[in-house]
């Protein structure tokens, strides 16, 4: 197969590309805008493979998409703005990429008759106090991030129903693991702990997330790509759930720092209390999560400890300004 992977220079996309190239004969074309969250270095271990190529461009740019999709058998769309806090501060890029970008990709897929897989999120369902969401749960997003992701999902479904384009949607729970940008909870806490910096926990720290090791999400996407039924949506939940303070305390232990670094700070507006996804439908296709949180978090901490080449340029670049904006006042309160 020749796969067009949009957003393949980011966290989950790069893990997917690496795994797919190791486990199949596929050719992979990555189309990526290289926003603050995407970097060529993240793909450096597949760059030299003759089956790999890279195009620098945005999914909302029809010319870049036309060049990238030519000859592809399937599109896997990871490209997105992905941080909830940034969507609250500056929603503009979220609307542009998720609405316009998804539309441009769908039009190109339709024109070229290419199968389409949309990578989506549990956040489109909103918060759930007990039990787990299924694929038929109503969409009830809370943030500009999740609302625009829900809009993209609906657009994808409309192209299946109206134009007969073969589409599938994969909604994942919270991913963690190597190559995650340090604005997200786990890498932020790991890197702050390794530097002896304060560890900001929003609100009371009791918000619950359903943790999924990134390689398991990558294998679920491959499974849905190969065996998913066109027109269907598949939820992919992690095997373990945990509240944030428990996650942070475990990282504190693994990094060997003092828990007095933990600081409860002003909460995120509209903060969803709990996410939980039932995965029975994707499991019926043969997928299973292989990594429990207990092992995955150890591997993740070890990876950040051993790979400063990857995160040092981030921590010394524009991330510093973002961090000051997002946490300066919160940590000073």
Q: Which of 215, 81, 219 is nearest to 146 (CA)?
A: 81
- Local structure of residue 268 (DSSP, 8 states): P
Q: In 61-91, which positions are buried (b, 16+ CB within 10 angstroms) versus exposed (e)?
A: beebbeebbeebebbbbbbbbbbbbbbbeeb
Element (DSSP H or E) covering residue 12: helix 11-23
122 tagged catalytic? yes
For residues 118 and 105, what is the distance between their CA atoms, to the nearest angstrom? 10
Q: Which residue, 12 or 165, is less far from ligand NAD as judged by CB? A: 12
Q: Among this protein's residues, is 319 annotated catalytic? A: no
By C-beta, is 58 or 223 nearer to ligand NAD?
Answer: 58
Task: Establish if 181 lies at the interface with ligand NAD (CB under 6 A).
Answer: yes
Binding mask 55-94 for ligand NAD (x = CB under 6 A): ---xxx-----------------xxxxx------------
Specify the DSSP element, H or E, that contains 145. Answer: helix 144-163
CB-nearer residue toward ligand DAU: 205 or 231: 205
Residue 159 contacts ligand NAD per CB under 6 A: no
Q: Which of 57, 110, 62, 63 is nearest to 79 (CA)?
A: 57
Q: Is 312 a catalytic residue?
A: no
- Which member of 26, 123, 153, 216 is catalytic? 123
Which residues, numbered 144-183, are part of the site for ligand DAU (CB under 6 A)?
Answer: 173-174
**What size, in residues, is the chain?**
333
Q: Is 153 left (phi over 0), alpha (psi -120 to 50) or beta?
A: alpha
The CA-CA-CA angle for residues 134, 78, 22, to 5°, reads 100
User: Could you tell me if 247 and 184 are in contact, meaning their C-beta atoms sit under 8 angstroms apart?
Assistant: no
CB-nearer residue toward ligand NAD: 6 or 29: 6
Would you give the binding string for ligand NAD spanning residues 117-156, x where CB under 6 A is met?
A: --x-x---------------------------x-------
Q: Which residues bind ligand NAD (CB under 6 A)?
A: 6-7, 9-13, 32-35, 37-38, 58-60, 78-82, 97, 101, 119, 121, 149, 172, 174-175, 181
Catalytic residues: 122-123, 145
Q: Which residues bind ligand DAU (CB under 6 A)?
A: 82-84, 121-123, 173-174, 184-185, 188, 200-202, 207, 209, 244, 268, 275
């Amino acid at each position: 197969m020749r796969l067009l992977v949009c957003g393949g220079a980011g966290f989950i996309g790069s893990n997917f590309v690496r795994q797919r190239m190791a486990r199949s004969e596929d050719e992979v074309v990555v189309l990526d805008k290289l926003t603050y969250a995407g970097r060529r270095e993240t793909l450096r271990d597949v760059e030299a493979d003759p089956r790999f190529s890279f195009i620098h461009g945005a999914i909302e740019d029809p010319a870049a998409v036309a060049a990238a999709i030519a000859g592809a058998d399937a599109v896997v769309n990871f490209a997105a703005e992905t941080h909830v806090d940034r969507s609250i501060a500056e929603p503009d890029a979220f609307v542009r990429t998720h609405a316009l970008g998804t539309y441009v990709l769908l039009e190109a897929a339709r024109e070229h008759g290419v199968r389409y897989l949309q990578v989506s999120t549990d956040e489109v369902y909103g918060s759930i106090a007990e039990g787990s969401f299924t694929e038929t749960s109503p969409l009830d997003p809370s943030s500009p991030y999740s609302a625009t992701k829900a809009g993209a999902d609906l657009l994808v479904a409309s192209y299946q129903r109206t134009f007969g384009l073969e589409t599938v949607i994969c909604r994942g729970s919270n991913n963690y693991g190597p190559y995650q940008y340090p604005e997200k909870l786990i890498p932020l806490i790991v890197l702050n702990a390794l530097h002896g910096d304060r560890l900001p926990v929003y609100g009371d720290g009791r918000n619950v997330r359903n943790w999924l090791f990134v390689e398991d999400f990558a294998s679920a996407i491959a499974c849905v790509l190969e065996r998913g039924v066109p027109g269907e949506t598949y939820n992919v939940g992690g095997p373990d759930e945990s509240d944030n303070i428990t996650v942070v305390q475990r990282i504190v232990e693994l990094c060997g720092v003092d828990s007095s670094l933990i600081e409860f700070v002003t909460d995120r507006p509209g903060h969803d209390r709990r996410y939980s996804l039932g995965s029975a439908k994707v499991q019926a296709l043969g997928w299973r999560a292989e990594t429990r949180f207990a092992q995955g978090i150890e591997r993740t901490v070890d990876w950040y400890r051993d790979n400063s080449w990857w995160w040092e340029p981030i921590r010394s670049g524009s991330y510093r300004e973002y961090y000051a904006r997002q946490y300066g006042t919160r940590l000073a309160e």
